[in-house]
Chains A and B, each alone.
Chain A
Amino acid sequence: MKNFIIGIGGTGAKCLEHLVYCCGAGLGPSQLWAGIIDQDEANGNVNRTKILLSKYINLRNSLKEEGKHDLGKDSNLLNTLIITNPDSVWLPLGGANPSLGKVINYDALKTEVQGLIDCLYNKEEKSQKLSEGFRARPNIGAVAMLATTSNEDDPFWAQIYKAVELAKGGEEVRIFLVSSIFGGTGASGFPNIARRIKSIQQKLQVTSNLHIGGALMLPYFTYEVPDKDMESEIYARPEEFMRQTKGALEYYSRLFKHNKIFDQVYIAGWDPLSKITNFKMGGNLQNNPPFFPELYGALGALKFFNKDNKISENQEVLHIGKNPTNDVVWSDIPDVSDELNSKESIAQLIRFAFSYNWMYGPALTGSWTKIKKYANENWFKRLVYKQTEIGHENNQEIISLMKEFCQDILVWIADICRSTAAHTDQKVDLISSDFFSEYKPKASENRVILKEKLNASEKSQFKEIITDSSNFKLLNVMSNVCYNKSIKGQRGLGVFMDTLFRSCKK
């Protein structure tokens, strides 16, 4: 089975970010191609996901380097082979800062057609520069999406053609789109990209094996309207989200009634809305925090890709939401399948990230002179010393890559818990992060800062990091690392990394 995921717009990119972490925890399929569509190329959220994807891919490749390192085929750590194009982001409108007027060649249109366009778009909308996205105007986004070509020469569309060809060849192919319903790029891209894939399918006369799924995010965040100077600007206005959503839902209701484009659609919503405190219109400064509902989008995608997910002939629309109280707890996270417990896997990844970042990573970093003081310890002898030359430059690079990835995991989960609940009555009770991080809600970058070192009392709070009263201590991790056996087929640093990951399982 071949899987493809496309994150459309800022929300799509953020859902993809959650999905990458879930794949790191072993919740993903064995293979996945990932792409992002966003007109706002420099967008902070998109960039964050792009960087994360590249970190994941690099790290996984390093730990699967033939003859040197191997996590083993049964390891759940980074188990999904994620593939992207050299540039994972597809811009519907290339070129230097295009405007809607330029895209439709407004000046060259007949007067009566210009009149029609004038009825649909005001002057600002026509001249609005689109290099920072469609600013929550799906009417602009839809035109832009339809105005672009989707030929096989384009590296992004080449992947879609490849997917459809694979389905034609008899392989099962699943394509998943994820976006918000209320934004600009996402709202306009979601139905149009799906339709375009359908048209490619029809063009290539593929009637089976190709399934399209999607996740639509209903409004789940809001922000303070900026000062008066913004009045003439075009930007996503939170007060319009609900109205836009209503319109979009009515549209989808009609679409789904008459046209089967999607096999499964996951719809997630949130109430009360989370609050963004540092509104930015777009560009690299728009670096919104990861929010809990986006995890639903990611888990919806993973459920769709799961081999146990049997796709029926009928179009299915699945809804999800948290428990009715204002507390978000672990049981609000749905499982990917009967075999894949999301809570256990994510908790395991968090424990792994903590133990690696503050315990084992520092012990394995540096020259042999520094590291050799652990040479006689059981875990080191069995899992490191016998497997690889730890002080070697390449190994040190992998150790450092893993440390960075672990820090990203800790920042991600701490940011979800703090930012989803910030300035609302909600409480995201998934992890306890106060003892290892500092949170700055107003900051657009480095909202969560991890402590460099932890003292003994902070380390002892590891048992409370996952708020499920499991009482899993660092001592348990240290003990498990010494007793867990390596698995046949593992090599090099893969032996230690996977053993540590397994040791973090409750």
Chain B
Amino acid sequence: MNIGRAMMSGGKSLIVLAPFAIISIWFIFTLFSGPSPSGAITKFFITVVEVGELEQQGVTFSDIAKDLFTMAAWINIWSLAIVTIFALGWSFGSHYLNVDAPGKAKIYAIHWIIVSGILIGLILITNIYCLESTYFRASQEVTGSGGGKITLILTVYYTLAYYLSVLLGTARFVRSSVLLANKLPGNI
């Protein structure tokens, strides 16, 4: 029924998501291409691993860097996939929420909070799984505070991408359900 408008909403959502996704994809490719000795990314990863402890074991950062970068790339891939699915899903699905009275859209704020909460939860689980489990060998070299730092940065980044994406992509009549979205001008 609202398929045209739902597609348009998906399009808007994608437009907002695109810059975040481009940065993310660039980052993923950079990570897969391996560490460069003087790069900023390398410098960041040095801060999240116990370099001193590694050296005591006779291992240098460059020995584990590739594994570390691969792990970070996969965290980003999964996070980006989750955000894309959730942002497009909400934007598209918002057209089918049963708003049958003025003011009723506010009720769907609860639904939006739940969806957003699940998204944040999934990003956190992805991070924690990758950083705490043995799935990636490099995870054991990341310090607790380093892991926290990575999780925080990625969660904030992808949540922001999701929020801005749904801010613009949510169906006009359901905007009251998304935090501050009803402040948008009408014709957007």
List chain A positions with a Cβ less than 8 A from chain B. 359-360, 363, 373-374, 376-382, 386, 456, 459-460, 462, 471, 473-476, 478-479, 481-483
Contacts and interface: CB of A to CB of B under 8 A. Distances in A.
How many interface residues does chain B have, given as a range? 20 to 34
A377 B175 contact: yes
B171 to A, nearest CB: 7
Contacts of A474: 100-101
Given A479-B2, A482-B171, 11 more contacts: A376-B176, A377-B176, A378-B175, A378-B186, A379-B172, A379-B173, A386-B186, A459-B100, A459-B101, A479-B172, A483-B172
Q: 3 nearest interchain CB pairs? A: A482-B172, A382-B186, A376-B182
A381 B99 CA distance: 17
B104 to A, nearest CB: 8
Contacts of B172: 378-379, 479, 482-483
24 contacts: A359-B101, A359-B102, A360-B102, A374-B102, A376-B176, A376-B183, A377-B103, A377-B173, A377-B182, A378-B186, A379-B173, A380-B102, A381-B185, A456-B100, A459-B100, A462-B100, A473-B1, A474-B100, A476-B2, A478-B100, A479-B2, A482-B172, A482-B173, A483-B172
B105 interface: yes
B46 to A, nearest CB: 48
B12 interface: no
Contacts of B105: 377
B166 to A, nearest CB: 15
B134 interface: no
Task: Classify the interface of chain A: helix, strand, loop or mixed.
Answer: helix
Nearest to A459: B100
Interface centre among A378, A381, A382, A460 (most CB of B within 10 A): A378
Contacts of A456: 100
Interface string B79-113: 00000000000000001111111110100000000
B43 interface: no
B100 A460 contact: yes
A168 B97 CA distance: 61
B186 A381 contact: yes
A359 B173 contact: no
A483 B12 CA distance: 15
Interface in B95-138: 95-103, 105
A243 B171 CA distance: 63
B173 A378 contact: yes
A390 B102 CA distance: 16
A255 B186 CA distance: 63
What DSSP secondary structure best describes chain B's contact surface? loop
Interface string B143-184: 000000000000000000000000000011101100000110
A489 B99 CA distance: 30
B1 A471 contact: yes
Contacts of A481: 173
Contact of B100 (A363, A380, A381, A475): A475
B100 A378 contact: no
A483 to B, nearest CB: 6
A481 B172 CA distance: 10
A382 B173 CA distance: 12
A197 to B, nearest CB: 50
B141 to A, nearest CB: 50
Contacts of A386: 186
A377 B102 contact: yes
Q: Which of A376, A379, A380, A382 has the most CB atoms of chain B within a 10 A radius of its CB? A: A376
B187 interface: yes
A382 B98 contact: no
Given A481-B173, A482-B172, A475 B103 contact: no
B5 A479 contact: yes
Contacts of B100: 359, 456, 459-460, 462, 473-475, 478
Nearest to A474: B100
A481 to B, nearest CB: 7
Nearest to B100: A474
Nearest to B171: A479
Contacts of B102: 359-360, 363, 374, 377, 379-380, 478
A476 B173 contact: no
Nearest to A456: B100
Indicate the member of A360, A374, A462, A482 with the most B CB atoms within 10 Å. Answer: A482
A378 B182 contact: yes
Nearest to A359: B101
Given A471-B1, A483-B5, A374 B99 contact: no
Contacts of A479: 2, 5, 95, 171-173
Contacts of B101: 359, 363, 459, 474, 478
Contacts of A478: 99-102, 173
Contacts of A379: 102, 172-173
Nearest to A382: B186
Contacts of A373: 103
A462 B102 CA distance: 15
Contacts of B98: 460, 473, 475
